[in-house]
Structure 1
Amino acid sequence: MHYVSSKSILSKNNGMNLYRGCTHGCIYCDSRSEVYGMDHKFEDIEVKKNSIELLKKELIKRPRAMIGTGAMTDPYVPLEKHLRYLRQSLELIYKYGFGFTCITKSDLLLRDLDLLKKINSKSKVVIQMTLTTSDDELCSVLEPNVCNTYILNEEGIPTVVWLCPILPYINDNDENINSLLDSCIETNVKGVLCFGMGLTLRKGNREYFYKKLDENFPGLKERYVREYGNSYSIPSPESDNLMRLFERKTSKNNILNTPDEIFEYLHDFPQKSYQTKLI
């Protein structure tokens, strides 16, 4: 872990990253890619030490909207347990009447359930999570440091699932996709995002991914190299069949299933009636 100072904390679209880097260890993580210009070891988490001060200043100036985090770095990395930057951010988001959505694979989110419910009662909260496999043993290989899946529907907080990545010759089969979708149906998720059955690889994450294939799936790297070369897009040979399965089951159960409608839902800020005292 190391600290840096930042000039701003919110993007023009209200995206927020309190940390850079991650220790979840997911073997496929695109955030390792060199294109993002991370100049430190991925597991050496960069902490934006002035982020809370910046967030307060920026929230006062901006129109109320959904604040999103987790697109590049899981906001609930283990060090959040004692740094509590996200917890403090949620307090400000609630205070100034904004909504909140995050992508996470950590059950540390449950620590902040009280605040999430308060924000949701005042405006809107959506929790997003990634699902790749229903096999716990395989999950421990693909995502060694993540928690078991949880859904917050019973707490009145909607959930959107990212069904990705689906790795060719690893988790791209009917049994796995059916099982994941059945879980989504049973827990009444709001939407399931899927950009096709496959993954993306580019310089930085490709090398790490291939290293992990050699460690856990001997011989599979050579098949990837032979079939995909240095392609960015790595589609599963089962993609067409699995996408038909995905579209059929989600549509039948009234689950949002296209990126456009899901992102529209995530960014839509409700015009609820409330008063917020700015201090």
Structure 2
Amino acid sequence: MHYVSSKSILSKNNGMNLYRGCTHGCIYCDSRSEVYGMDHKFEDIEVKKNSIELLKKELIKRPRAMIGTGAMTDPYVPLEKHLRYLRQSLELIYKYGFGFTCITKSDLLLRDLDLLKKINSKSKVVIQMTLTTSDDELCSVLEPNVCNTSRRIEVLDILNGEGIPTVVWLCPILPYINDNEENINSLLDSCIATNVKGILCFGMGLTLRKGNKEYFYKKLDENFPGLKERYVREYGNSYSIPSPESDNLMRLFERKTSKNNILNTPDEIFEYLHDFPQKSYQTKLI
């Protein structure tokens, strides 16, 4: 890792990135793409050393809203365990009455369950968890340096028991790897059992751009011999890599989520994630 100083920590839409880069090792990660202009090795995580000071200043000035993190880098990368930047951020978010949402694959977030519960009682917390495969052995290949799917489902269940809403990112679904009905059915059943509020799915497939494409293909060669050649043959240099099973799997997804009253469109889920309970917060203050 290495440290940098930053001029700001929150985007205009209240997005926050304490770290840049990741060590989870997910073979498909779009954040490796050159379009994002990262000028250091992806695993050499950039740490914004003045982020807590900046966050305090910006929270004092801004209207209360949901603070989000994890869109570019999982906020619970292993180094967070000892740096505790996210933990300190949560303390400020609670102190100043903001809400919080994050996208993660890590059970390290349970370390902060006490703070998440306090924020949720005062305003709102939504935890977003990525699930790609119900097969833990396959998970260890696709996402080698983070807890497996079974453990993530345990985390979802714990959060449900504590009254903290959850949203699942059902992506990416990789052609000829995890794009089968058994996998999608199993993941959906787990989401239903843990009472998730919504499931984000942008179609069954993935996207590949310069930077992440080369890394992904390298990992295909290592773990799925011959599959890279099939991708190249069928998709060429396309950005969008849809599964040939996409239509059938999307029908399954829509049918099962609708039947179980789970939010299933990006628009309604993002509206839910960004909605901050102003009246509820004001009432609690009084």
Q: Per-residue CA shift, 1:225-254, capped at 9, x if unaligned?
A: 000011000000000000000000000000
Q: Per-residue CA shift, 1:125-174, capped at 9, x if unaligned?
A: 0000110000000000000011134x511110011000000000000000
Q: CA deviation at 1:277?
A: 13
Q: CA deviation at 1:9?
A: 0.1
Which residue number corresponds to residue 28 of structure 2?
28
Contact 1:173 1:238 in 2 (8 A): yes
Structure holding more helix per residue? 2
Matched position secondary structure for 2:285: coil
Which residue number corresponds to residue 100 of structure 1?
100
The percent of aligned pairs where both chains have the same amino acid is 98
Contact 2:122 2:284 in 1 (8 A): no
Kindly report structure 1 stretches of 4+ aligned residues shifted beyond 4 Å.
Answer: 272-279
Which residue number corresponds to residue 254 of structure 1?
261
Matched position secondary structure for 1:28: coil
Which residue number corresponds to residue 44 of structure 1?
44
Which residue number corresponds to residue 208 of structure 1?
215
Instruction: Please give the root-mean-square deviation of Cα atoms over the aligned residues, in Å.
Output: 1.9
Which residue number corresponds to residue 243 of structure 2?
236
> CA distance change for structure 1 residues 92 and 276 in 2, over 3 Å: closer, same or farther?
farther
Listed as ranges, the gaps of 5+ residues in structure 1 are none
Distance 2:67 2:27 in 1: 28
> Normalising by the residue count of structure 2, what TM-score does the alignment of the two structures yield?
0.95
Contact 2:139 2:148 in 1 (8 A): no
Contact 2:97 2:123 in 1 (8 A): yes
Listed as ranges, the gaps of 5+ residues in structure 2 are 150-157
Distance 2:103 2:140 in 1: 19
Q: How does 1:186-225 map to 2 (within 5 A)?
A: 186-225=193-232
Distance 1:12 1:102 in 2: 17
Contact 1:173 1:242 in 2 (8 A): yes
Which residue number corresponds to residue 168 of structure 1?
175
Distance 2:175 2:32 in 1: 20
Q: CA deviation at 1:276?
A: 12
Distance 2:283 2:167 in 1: 28
Q: Per-residue CA shift, 1:9-61, capped at 9, x if unaligned?
A: 00000000000000000000000000000000000000000000000000000
Which residue number corresponds to residue 156 of structure 1?
163
Q: CA deviation at 1:88?
A: 0.3
Matched position secondary structure for 2:186: helix
Distance 2:148 2:270 in 1: 25
> CA distance change for structure 1 residues 84 and 220 in 2, over 3 Å: closer, same or farther?
same
Q: CA deviation at 1:271?
A: 1.9
> CA distance change for structure 1 residues 274 and 188 in 2, over 3 Å: closer, same or farther?
closer
Distance 1:185 1:107 in 2: 20
> CA distance change for structure 1 residues 35 and 276 in 2, over 3 Å: closer, same or farther?
farther
Contact 2:180 2:245 in 1 (8 A): yes
Equivalent residues, number? 278
Distance 1:29 1:132 in 2: 12
> CA distance change for structure 1 residues 33 and 48 in 2, over 3 Å: closer, same or farther?
same
